[in-house]
Structure 1
């Protein structure tokens, strides 16, 4: 989510770098804008759980983060997130892991 403020400078850098990587690969402008915003939510989750470096990220943490997303409400319209929104979060996570490799 674009309104979340990241304190960790390395997370800020990785988010920006991920955005540039998507742009270089030729993804649509909407994708280049939205996927890093979803990853910002992951980084915010990491900060809230005192995980200070990207090297500490593992599959279990990603699964826990995704479970938390499934439980949170839709902040614009109320109610739960739609399956489409959840799929966009998954797409962002998959593409981000590609980027990290």
Structure 2
């Protein structure tokens, strides 16, 4: 939830959970992979793709579908309602300028 909301409270809870299980990795067996993914999300930069625009078909819908269909590790896609279509890609604390077409978004995601 921290990656979706940017809420510091969720990040604190994530860190607390990781600390609680940090010494138990050898005992987790198959479930250790889930812990490893949680650690990966906690320490590596997250790719956040925010797509805004009107509801229904159009450029915003096309960009939203493209964002959902494109693989990026630690990717979060957020859809917001706005008058004009735009998409912004942030990796960690670095963000792109807004783009208004699916083709331009595809270039950013390469």
User: TM class, shorter-chain normalised?
Assistant: under 0.3
TM-score of the pair, normalised by structure 2: 0.25
RCO comparison, higher one (Cα < 8 Å, 6+)? 1
